[in-house]
């Protein structure tokens, strides 16, 4: 177990070329569950490979606790890794698969037996220990991959590279639940790479959102959802993403195509100081319908989608497209939908960065 | 104008892939085929396309039996999970390829290719090779190729599964508009309930080679025909619990005893399975709610909601609660259930009572 | 039901069936016909039943050729398969040297079989051949035309030179198909190089190796041109293998009946071996 420190870390694949990873400085706490979230090519896999030791960074150091592991190969780093597609040793039984990392390190058979049984019990694999790993389902195989990481007591961190890609939705829930349980029980540092916001948010204590080799925000799922520090974070997290409307600031109001929307005065002040392109951001689910006598904004409705548990309204506020998530039994009037942007949920962005 | 499957079955080497499928797909409708991996979705599409014959049954297109008409002689467009394009042809030539095979003249091909590329938003990439495109763009190219010749049948086999989450979201909402004005039978296979709901139209739920429900997508969601549908067509799956109904009450051992809600009043006394969606369970109590005890296993915090996984009476349940609620594993936890939102399934797992509310 | 589906397919393969019928089945029937008759001339032949088969199966010359053949094929497999795997593992995985090494490896496969024999005949000659002269100069008394051990070694080395490339290329393709994640996982699990080979590479190469063994067995079991050109089956009968013995019988001695019986036995041996392989591969698919 260890905390992971990335010290002035940066990476270029070719000297003088573009940075695949922009210089960064982070400390990931011991026992934390971290998710690296971003679209393809954002550098999340590069960062994971640097942590696992498959890749050496061109600049900076990687520390596991007090130990500098920058130049160490994967086998000397005490990590486990679960890949996108199940990696198992086809010809071995499940037991032998789980025992493999221990036997490679020449540990006694008694110990191996005890340890494998313990881990198999934790992952719910005890019934298939004798079976050949090759004939199992994808989710069982991923559990085996995970088990090979967990079976070593000295494991410092377990890394996951989009491990749920090949798993059916209802099994994803079970596997994620298993992951959380393992995390609670073993208190390991976990790092999880994904492009899927749901996976990242449900898995992690802290999510690291990346774009183009840069870390845009590190925060709790709640923080990322409620106070995205960058418009990309707002867009990328949430389905559909946050609404962003170009605006001006007038006093403590944001003005969008002539509509005056009250915002936090301190934030309005900060936005005026920051200057640049100003945008008002609000989550589709945090917009609420206006009460009967309440002054509200009128959204022209273009489309209403019935998504089973809620309705998704696509409409226009002035010239700007806007999504509103409606709970059941909220009716849309003939002239459109009257809504309120709660002040605490309406955020201002200057040149894509949250102000205040 | 339609595509009809009549008693279609397919067995390969003793293993049943499809079992007595009877379905009608209308033109101009969006049809979703929902099911787990290996539920038979791909086999069904292959039979519809004529890539594979059924062992028994017929495929009827617009009143004509086409069961044994090979795919080349049908009018079918297909998009796969993998991004399949001709690697040595430009995007333009890729899209043009089915038209060239159909023997259209150059001017016509040019017009159709450019229109289709524009509809899919890849008109600026038309001279590139597939390898020079991103995954999303490659899939758009494959879709353009499938759509360009206005095939009578367009089959999409989990086309978005290999795309990034956000790309998927964008393309998914475009898909409906893309097919809205086409006189074609569209079938879209997916494993994801959310995808089915966003795409709308009609949904067929397949499970182990059988159709377990077929109907308007939102209707299927609100009235899941049986307990299997509640697991396949809901994410997270519906929470289930065996209960006893009798004397105007519903009870579970010592855990719960409550008067029957309105929509279950007519149930005959006996054993049932009660189903409750995760977001109809609440952390906070209220007068109209009944209380259940569970043991917390884990909690997942997903931005605006918290998923609390609990063990309730030996069952794995999930509570979806708005906001952030820190809970601790092993903790005893009270959850509150709105029985008016609960479903009841009989001993054969068939739906017998669904909530009256407009939304499930 | 199943049958009706494939009617059209049968029609499509009909031309091939006809060609095969003329080129293979009819000659085969002729051979079967010969094998049960004693032929003195175009118009005088007698039915002899299984007489030729009995004779052939008792013929010590043939026993000798069969034993040599089996030893030769076994030696070929024992040398070429491990060597092929080993060299495939040594090849670069990416970079400019990949294509260079692949082309170099493919070269021996492109040489016509009788030319291979001629090359080695010259190469190994103790008086003027590079290898022959060299071996003698370092004090080995090497003469493949006089010494049967030398002849054997020469034929084997020639075959290794000629055919190991095929095994290497097949294994190389098999190795390239193994995803990187397997190697990464093995490194993380602390696996030794040997363990990586034993638990990842070898299992993943299983299918390819079966094909390689099958091809090498069939090719080596019916080898003819190379030893014929190189040693002519000598010295004595030391390197006379089945096909050469058969040719001597049919063309040299014109014993058509026994030769026909013999070639059927020969054919059955290859068929049997191939069938065993077919079953193995089929079984493997089912497991996988």
pLDDT tens per residue, range B35-45: 988 889 999 99
Task: Please tell me the distance in Å from C3's CA to the nearest CA on chain B.
Answer: 11
CATH label of the domain that carries residue B310:
2.40.50.140
Claim to verify: residue A222 and residue A287 sit in the same structural domain: no
Claim to verify: residue A196 and residue A84 sit in the same structural domain: yes
Claim to verify: residue A48 and residue A31 sit in the same structural domain: yes
Beta strands in B191-331 (DSSP E): 202-207, 210-216, 239-246, 249-252, 256-259, 270-276, 281-282, 290-302, 305-312, 315-322
Task: Please tell me the distance in Å from B55's CA to the nearest CA on chain C.
Answer: 7
Residue A227 pLDDT exceeds 80: yes
Cα–Cα distance measured from residue B356 to residue C81, given in angstroms and rounded to the nearest whole number: 72
| pLDDT in the model for residue B178 | 83
C192: nearest CB among A73, A104, A149: A104
Contact call for residues A349 and A355 (beta carbons, < 8 A)? yes
C196 φ/ψ angles, rounded to the nearest 5 degrees: -60, -45
Claim to verify: residue B341 and residue B286 sit in the same structural domain: yes
Contact A198 B358 (CB under 8 A): no
Contact A40 B134 (CB under 8 A): yes
Confidence of residue B360 (pLDDT cuts 50, 70, 90): very low
Q: Residue B234 domain-assigned?
A: no
Domain residues for A98?
4-234
Claim to verify: residue A216 and residue A250 sit in the same structural domain: no
Contact call for residues C230 and C154 (beta carbons, < 8 A)? yes
Cα–Cα distance measured from residue A283 to residue A195, given in angstroms and rounded to the nearest whole number: 20
Claim to verify: residue B145 and residue B256 sit in the same structural domain: no
Claim to verify: residue A185 and residue A36 sit in the same structural domain: yes
* C286 interfaces chain A, CB cutoff of 8 Å: no
The residue-averaged pLDDT of A290-310 equals 83
pLDDT in tens, B57-104: 999 988 889 988 888 888 888 898 888 889 899 999 999 998 988 888
Look at residues B335, B246, B249 and name the one whose alpha carbon lies nearest to residue B292.
B335
| pLDDT in the model for residue B149 | 83
Task: Please tell me the distance in Å from B106's CA to the nearest CA on chain A.
Answer: 37
| pLDDT in the model for residue B1 | 63
Claim to verify: residue B73 and residue B196 sit in the same structural domain: yes
Cα–Cα distance measured from residue C242 to residue B13, given in angstroms and rounded to the nearest whole number: 42
Task: Please tell me the distance in Å from A133's CA to the nearest CA on chain C.
Answer: 11
Touching B (3+ Cβ pairs <8 A), the chains are: A, C
Domain residues for B264?
239-353
Bridging pattern class, strands A353-354 and C37-41: unpaired
Q: Residue B359 domain-assigned?
A: no
Contact C5 B53 (CB under 8 A): yes
Touching C (3+ Cβ pairs <8 A), the chains are: A, B
Claim to verify: residue B47 and residue B152 sit in the same structural domain: yes
* C16 interfaces chain B, CB cutoff of 8 Å: no
Cα–Cα distance measured from residue A101 to residue C189, given in angstroms and rounded to the nearest whole number: 5
Q: Which residues of A touch B299 (CB under 8 A)?
A: 180
Say what the ipTM of the complex is.
0.78
* C177 interfaces chain A, CB cutoff of 8 Å: no
The residue ranges of every structural domain in chain C are: 63-287
C190: nearest CB among A52, A81, A105: A105
Q: Residue B233 domain-assigned?
A: no
* C285 interfaces chain B, CB cutoff of 8 Å: no
What residues have CB less than 8 Å from C61, skipping those under 6 apart? C237, C245
Q: Which residues of A touch B36 (CB under 8 A)?
A: 168, 170
| pLDDT in the model for residue B227 | 93
| pLDDT in the model for residue C234 | 74
Tokens representing B22? 């009877």
Using the 3D structure, point to which of A190, A210, A234 is the last residue of a domain: A234
3-state helix, strand, coil split of chain C in percent (to 5) is: 75, 5, 20
| pLDDT in the model for residue C285 | 58
Claim to verify: residue B22 and residue B112 sit in the same structural domain: yes
Claim to verify: residue B14 and residue B149 sit in the same structural domain: yes
Topology of domain C63-287 in CATH is MetI-like fold (1.10.3720)
Contact A221 B232 (CB under 8 A): no
Claim to verify: residue A259 and residue A279 sit in the same structural domain: yes
Look at residues B255, B279, B236 and name the one whose alpha carbon lies nearest to residue B334.
B255
Q: Structurally, how many domains does chain A consist of?
A: 2
Three-class secondary structure of residue B79 per DSSP: strand
A178 φ/ψ angles, rounded to the nearest 5 degrees: -60, -45
Task: Please tell me the distance in Å from A77's CA to the nearest CA on chain C.
Answer: 8
Claim to verify: residue A82 and residue A211 sit in the same structural domain: yes
Contact call for residues A246 and A277 (beta carbons, < 8 A)? yes
Claim to verify: residue A40 and residue A187 sit in the same structural domain: yes
Phi-psi region of B150 (alpha: psi -120 to 50; beta: other; left: phi over 0): left
Three-class secondary structure of residue C277 per DSSP: helix
Claim to verify: residue A219 and residue A314 sit in the same structural domain: no
Claim to verify: residue A200 and residue A275 sit in the same structural domain: no
| pLDDT in the model for residue A1 | 56
Claim to verify: residue B19 and residue B107 sit in the same structural domain: yes
* C222 interfaces chain A, CB cutoff of 8 Å: no
End-to-end CA distance of chain C: 28
Claim to verify: residue A228 and residue A318 sit in the same structural domain: no
Cα–Cα distance measured from residue C219 to residue C118, given in angstroms and rounded to the nearest whole number: 19
For tokens 């009967």, name the residue: A292
- What H or E segment, with its residue span, contains residue B11? strand B2-12
Claim to verify: residue B60 and residue B176 sit in the same structural domain: yes
The residue-averaged pLDDT of A283-294 equals 86
Phi-psi region of A174 (alpha: psi -120 to 50; beta: other; left: phi over 0): alpha
Which class for C19: exposed (0-12), middle (13-18), buried (19 or more C-beta within 10 A)? Answer: exposed
Cα–Cα distance measured from residue A306 to residue A313, given in angstroms and rounded to the nearest whole number: 9
Tokens representing C139? 């004090």
Nearest CA in chain B to A329: B358
Cα–Cα distance measured from residue C131 to residue C161, given in angstroms and rounded to the nearest whole number: 14
pLDDT in tens, C13-23: 888 888 888 88
Cα–Cα distance measured from residue B319 to residue B304, given in angstroms and rounded to the nearest whole number: 14
Claim to verify: residue B186 and residue B308 sit in the same structural domain: no
Contact A83 C188 (CB under 8 A): no
Q: Which residues of A touch C203 (CB under 8 A)?
A: 89-91
pLDDT in tens, A55-81: 889 999 999 888 899 999 888 888 888
A169: nearest CB among B193, B218, B304: B193
What residues have CB less than 8 Å from B294, skipping those under 6 apart? B310, B311, B312, B313, B317, B332, B333, B334, B335
Which range has the worst mean pLDDT, A170-179, B8-17, B92-101, B204-213? A170-179
Task: Please tell me the distance in Å from C286's CA to the nearest CA on chain B.
Answer: 11
The whole-chain average pLDDT of chain A stands at 87
Cα–Cα distance measured from residue C158 to residue C80, given in angstroms and rounded to the nearest whole number: 12
Three-class secondary structure of residue A244 per DSSP: strand
Look at residues C71, C242, C236 and name the one whose alpha carbon lies nearest to residue C148.
C236
The residue-averaged pLDDT of A40-62 equals 88
What residues have CB less than 8 Å from B225, skipping those under 6 apart? B205, B212, B213, B350, B351
Best A91, A94, A103, A147 residue to mutate vs chain C (most C CBs within 10 Å): A91
Q: Which residues of A touch C193 (CB under 8 A)?
A: none
| pLDDT in the model for residue C2 | 42
C187: nearest CB among A75, A134, A135: A75
pLDDT in tens, B133-172: 888 888 889 989 988 888 889 999 999 888 887 888 888 8
* C288 interfaces chain A, CB cutoff of 8 Å: yes
Nearest CA in chain A to C178: A87
* B12 interfaces chain C, CB cutoff of 8 Å: no
Contact B37 A168 (CB under 8 A): yes
Cα–Cα distance measured from residue B310 to residue A180, given in angstroms and rounded to the nearest whole number: 13
> Mind listing the pLDDT tens digit of every residue in chain C (288 residues)?
344 555 677 788 888 888 888 888 888 888 888 888 887 777 777 787 788 888 888 888 888 888 888 899 999 999 999 999 999 999 888 888 888 988 898 888 888 878 888 888 888 888 888 888 888 888 888 888 788 888 888 889 989 998 999 999 999 999 999 988 899 899 888 888 999 999 999 989 988 998 899 889 888 888 887 788 777 777 877 778 888 888 887 777 777 788 888 888 888 888 888 888 888 877 775 554
Contact call for residues A112 and A103 (beta carbons, < 8 A)? yes
Using the 3D structure, point to which of A234, A253, A278 is the last residue of a domain: A234
Cis-peptide, bond into residue C132, ω within 30° of zero: no
Claim to verify: residue B208 and residue B249 sit in the same structural domain: no
The C-alpha angle with vertex A353 and arms to A348 and A356, in degrees rounded to 5, equals 55
Q: Structurally, how many domains does chain B consist of?
A: 2
Nearest CA in chain B to A199: B302
Contact B56 C1 (CB under 8 A): yes
Contact call for residues B310 and B297 (beta carbons, < 8 A)? yes
Cα–Cα distance measured from residue A213 to residue C202, given in angstroms and rounded to the nearest whole number: 38
| pLDDT in the model for residue C62 | 81
What residues have CB less than 8 Å from C178, skipping those under 6 apart? C200, C201, C204
Task: Please tell me the distance in Å from B130's CA to the nearest CA on chain C.
Answer: 22
Q: Which residues of C touch A191 (CB under 8 A)?
A: none
Nearest CA in chain C to A79: C188
* C1 interfaces chain B, CB cutoff of 8 Å: yes
Burial per residue of C188-223, b for 16 or more beta-carbon CB atoms within 10 angstroms, e otherwise: bbbbeeebbbebbbebbbebbbeebbbebbebbbbb
Task: Please tell me the distance in Å from A81's CA to the nearest CA on chain C.
Answer: 7
For tokens 């260079």, name the residue: C100
Cα–Cα distance measured from residue B82 to residue B154, given in angstroms and rounded to the nearest whole number: 16
CATH label of the domain that carries residue A218:
3.40.50.300
Claim to verify: residue B193 and residue B255 sit in the same structural domain: no
Look at residues B158, B135, B145, B155 and name the one whose alpha carbon lies nearest to residue B89.
B145
Contact call for residues A169 and B235 (beta carbons, < 8 A)? yes
Contact call for residues C181 and C95 (beta carbons, < 8 A)? no
Touching A (3+ Cβ pairs <8 A), the chains are: B, C
Best B53, B70, B71 residue to mutate vs chain C (most C CBs within 10 Å): B53
Nearest CA in chain A to C204: A90
Cα–Cα distance measured from residue B354 to residue A62, given in angstroms and rounded to the nearest whole number: 56
Claim to verify: residue B288 and residue B329 sit in the same structural domain: yes
Q: Number of CB pairs < 8 Å for B and C?
A: 5
Distance of CA B355 to the CA centre of its chain: 22
Contact A81 C185 (CB under 8 A): yes
* B53 interfaces chain C, CB cutoff of 8 Å: yes
| pLDDT in the model for residue B120 | 86
Claim to verify: residue A272 and residue A226 sit in the same structural domain: no
Nearest CA in chain B to A240: B169
Tokens representing B269? 């006394």
Contact A81 C203 (CB under 8 A): no
A104: nearest CB among C189, C200, C288: C189
């Amino acid at each position: 177990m260890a905390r992971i420190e990335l010290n002035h870390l940066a990476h270029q694949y070719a000297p003088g070329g573009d940075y695949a990873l922009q210089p960064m400085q982070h400390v990931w706490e011991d026992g934390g569950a971290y998710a690296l979230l971003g679209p393809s090519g954002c550098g999340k896999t590069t960062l994971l490979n640097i942590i696992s030791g498959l890749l050496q960074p061109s600049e900076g150091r990687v520390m596991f606790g007090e130990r500098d592991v920058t130049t160490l190969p994967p086998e000397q780093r005490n990590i486990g890794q679960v890949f996108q597609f199940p990696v198992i040793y086809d010809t071995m039984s499940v037991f032998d698969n789980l025992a493999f990392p221990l036997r490679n390190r020449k540990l006694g058979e008694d110990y191996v037996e005890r340890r494998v049984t313990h881990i198999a019990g934790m992952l719910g694999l005890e019934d298939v220990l004798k079976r050949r790993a090759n004939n199992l389902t994808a989710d069982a195989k991923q559990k085996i991959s995970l088990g090979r990481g967990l079976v070593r007591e000295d494991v410092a961190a377990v890394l996951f590279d989009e491990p749920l890609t090949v798993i059916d939705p209802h099994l994803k829930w079970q596997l994620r639940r298993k992951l959380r349980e393992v995390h609670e029980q073993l208190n390991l540092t976990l790092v999880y790479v994904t492009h899927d916001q749901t996976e990242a948010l449900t898995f992690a204590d802290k999510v690291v959102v990346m774009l183009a080799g840069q870390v845009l925000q590190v925060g709790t799922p709640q923080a990322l959802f409620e106070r995205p520090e960058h418009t990309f974070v707002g867009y990328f997290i949430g389905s559909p993403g946050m609404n962003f409307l170009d605006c001006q600031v007038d006093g403590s109001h944001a003005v969008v195509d002539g509509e005056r929307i009250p915002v936090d005065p301190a934030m309005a002040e900060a936005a005026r100081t920051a200057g640049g392109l100003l945008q008002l951001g609000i989550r589709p689910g945090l917009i609420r319908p206006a009460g009967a006598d309440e002054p509200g904004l009128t959204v022209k409705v273009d489309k209403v989608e019935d998504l089973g548990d809620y309705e998704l309204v696509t409409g226009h506020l002035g010239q700007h497209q806007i999504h509103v998530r409606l709970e059941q039994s909220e009716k849309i009037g003939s002239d459109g939908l009257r809504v309120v942007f709660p002040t605490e949920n309406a955020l201002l962005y200057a040149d894509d960065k949250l102000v205040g | 104008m339609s595509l009809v499957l009549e008693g279609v079955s397919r067995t390969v080497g003793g293993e049943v892939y499809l079992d007595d499928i009877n379905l009608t797909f209308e033109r101009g409708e969006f049809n979703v085929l929902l099911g787990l991996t290996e539920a038979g979705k791909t086999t069904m599409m292959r039979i519809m396309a004529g890539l594979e014959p059924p062992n028994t049954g017929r495929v009827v297109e617009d009143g004509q039996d086409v069961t044994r008409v090979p795919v080349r002689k049908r009018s079918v467009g297909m998009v796969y999970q993998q991004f399949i394009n001709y690697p040595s042809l430009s995007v333009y030539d890729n899209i043009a390829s089915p038209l060239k095979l159909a023997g259209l003249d150059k001017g016509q091909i040019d017009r159709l290719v450019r229109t289709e590329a524009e509809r899919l938003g890849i008109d600026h990439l038309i001279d590139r090779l597939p390898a020079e495109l991103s995954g999303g763009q490659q899939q758009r190219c494959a879709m353009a190729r499938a759509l360009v010749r206005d095939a009578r049948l367009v089959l999409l086999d989990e086309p978005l599964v290999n795309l990034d989450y956000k790309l998927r979201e964008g393309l998914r909402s475009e898909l409906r508009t893309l097919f809205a004005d086409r006189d074609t039978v569209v079938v879209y296979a997916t494993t994801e309930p959310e995808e089915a709901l966003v795409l709308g139209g009609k949904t067929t739920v397949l499970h182990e080679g059988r159709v377990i429900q077929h109907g308007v997508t939102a209707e299927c969601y609100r009235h899941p025909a049986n307990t299997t549908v509640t697991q396949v067509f809901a994410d997270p799956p519906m929470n289930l619990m065996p209960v006893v109904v009798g004397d105007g009450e519903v009870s579970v051992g010592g855990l719960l005893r409550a008067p029957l809600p309105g929509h279950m009043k007519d149930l005959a006394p006996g054993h049932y399975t009660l189903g409750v969606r995760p977001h109809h369970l609440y952390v906070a109590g209220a007068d109209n709610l009944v209380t259940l005890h569970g043991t917390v296993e884990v909690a997942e915090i997903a931005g605006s909601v918290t998923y609390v996984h609990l063990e309730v009476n030996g069952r794995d349940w999930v509570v979806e609660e708005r906001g952030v609620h820190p809970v601790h594993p092993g903790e005893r936890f009270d959850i509150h259930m709105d029985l008016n939102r609960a479903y009841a399934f009989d001993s054969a797992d068939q739906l017998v009572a669904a909530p009256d509310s407009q939304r499930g | 039901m199943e049958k009706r589906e494939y009617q059209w397919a049968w029609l499509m393969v009909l031309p091939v069936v006809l060609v095969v019928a003329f080129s293979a089945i009819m000659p085969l029937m002729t051979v079967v016909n010969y094998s049960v008759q004693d032929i003195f001339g175009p118009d005088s032949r007698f039915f002899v039943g299984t007489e030729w088969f009995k004779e052939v199966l008792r013929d010590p010359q043939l026993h000798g050729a069969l034993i040599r053949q089996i030893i030769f094929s076994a030696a070929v497999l024992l040398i070429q398969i491990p060597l092929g795997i080993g060299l495939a593992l040594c090849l670069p995985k990416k970079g400019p040297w990949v294509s260079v090494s692949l082309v170099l490896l493919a070269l021996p496969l492109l040489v016509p079989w009788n030319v291979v024999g001629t090359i080695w005949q010259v190469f190994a000659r103790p008086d003027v051949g590079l290898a022959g002269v060299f071996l003698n100069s370092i004090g080995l008394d090497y003469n493949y035309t006089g010494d049967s051990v030398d002849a054997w070694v020469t034929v084997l080395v020639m075959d290794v030179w000629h055919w190991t490339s095929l095994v290497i290329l097949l294994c190389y393709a098999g190795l390239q198909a193994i995803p990187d994640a397997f190697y990464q996982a093995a490194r993380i699990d602390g696996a030794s190089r040997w363990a990586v080979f034993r638990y990842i590479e070898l299992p993943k190469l299983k299918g390819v190796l079966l094909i390689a063994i099958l091809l090498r067995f069939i090719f080596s079991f019916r080898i003819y041109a190379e030893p014929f050109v190189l040693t002519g089956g000598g010295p004595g009968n030391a390197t006379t293998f089945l096909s050469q013995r058969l040719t001597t019988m049919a063309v040299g001695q014109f014993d058509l009946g026994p030769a026909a019986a013999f070639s059927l036995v020969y054919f059955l041996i290859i068929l049997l071996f191939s069938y065993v392989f077919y079953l193995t591969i089929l079984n493997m698919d089912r497991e996988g």
